[in-house]
Amino acid sequence: MSKGSPEGNPAAFSRRLLRAGERAALATNLQGAPYASLVLFAADLDASPLLLLSDLAQHSRNIAFDPRISLLLDATEGYPDPLTGPRLTLIGWAEAIDDPRRLARFTAHHPTSSIYSGFGDFRLYRVALERAHLVAGFGQIRWIEGRDVVLDSDTSALAAAEQSILKDMNEDHADAIANYARHLLARPTIGWRMTGIDPEGIDLRCQTESARLEFAAPVLSAEAARAALVQLADDARK
C-alpha cells in the first residue's frame, strides 16, 4: 500500500485531498438547525483550512453564534459513479484571525477574492480540525483525528519565505513553470503561475484552472524548497 493511498496512509491521503481542493460545502448551526452553504477555501502550510467570509453572510452569523463547523470536500469529479469517488468531511472550529500572511495565501489561491478581501465586513477564518471522515469509495471509510491530518512540523521558515519564492518563480522562472505544466501535468503551457508552496508540494493556476505537484519528500525551509523546485524542473526535462 502506497504512502498516498487511503489504505496505506488515510491521513496523508486526506491531506492531499484537502490541499488539492478549492471549494466545499460549509455546514453551520442556524440556532439549532443545520445550514449548508458553498464556500471557497485554501489549505494553510500545515493543511489547516482557511475561509474568507463576509460578516453579512448567514454562515458567518451562524459561526458567531456557534463556531463549530463542518466542511465537505467533494473530489468525485470524473467518476462515472460519484459514490465510488473520494470525499472528505472535516469537523472543527472556525476562528476569525487577522493574519496578512494567511490572507495573502488565500487570495493567491483565489485571485478574484482580492477584489473584496480588504473590505471591512470580510474576515479570514482558520479552521482548527477536530476529526475527519474519509470516504474513499465503497468499503474505504475511516475516521481520522484532526491532529493526524494537520502537519505538526514547524512550517514558520517556509511560511516566511513563501511570497518571495512565488515572486521569484513567477517573475524569473516562468519557463520552469511552463515546463511543469507541459511535461508533468500534460497541460497547455501558456499563462500558468505558481500560487502557493507548502511542505508537500506546489499549487499552480492558469485562469480558472488549478493544478498541484507533490514533492518527493517534505520541505521546511526556503533552501529545501528551492532544491525541490529544481528537482521538479529536472523531472520535467526528462
| 50-85 confidence digits (pLDDT tens) | 999 999 999 999 999 999 999 999 999 999 999 899
Those residues whose C-beta lies under 8 Å from the C-beta of residue 106, and which sit 6 or more positions away, are 42, 50, 52, 113, 117, 124
pLDDT at 174: 95
**Rounded distance between C-alpha atoms, residue 94 and residue 97, angstroms:** 9
Q: Which CATH number fits domain 10-149: 1.10.520.10, 3.40.50.2300, 3.30.930.10, 2.30.110.10?
A: 2.30.110.10
**Ordered alpha helix ranges (H), the chain:** 10-20, 58-65, 100-109, 146-149, 156-172, 174-179, 222-237
pLDDT at 2: 38
**Rounded distance between C-alpha atoms, residue 127 and residue 38, angstroms:** 16
Contact by Cβ (8 Å): 203, 109: yes
Burial of 24 (0-12, 13-18, 19+ CB in 10 A): buried
Return the CATH class of domain 156-237.
Answer: alpha beta
Grid cell for residue 40:
471557497
Contact by Cβ (8 Å): 107, 113: yes
pTM over 0.95: no
pLDDT at 5: 58
Residue type, 141: I
Those residues whose C-beta lies under 8 Å from the C-beta of residue 184, and which sit 6 or more positions away, are 213, 232, 235, 236
Domain boundaries, the chain: 10-149, 156-237
Kind of pairing, strands 193-198 and 209-214? unpaired
Looking at the chain, how many residues does it have? 238
**Rounded distance between C-alpha atoms, residue 125 and residue 54, angstroms:** 10
Ranges of residues in the chain whose predicted pLDDT is under 70: 1-5, 7
Grid cell for residue 213:
505537484
pLDDT at 3: 44
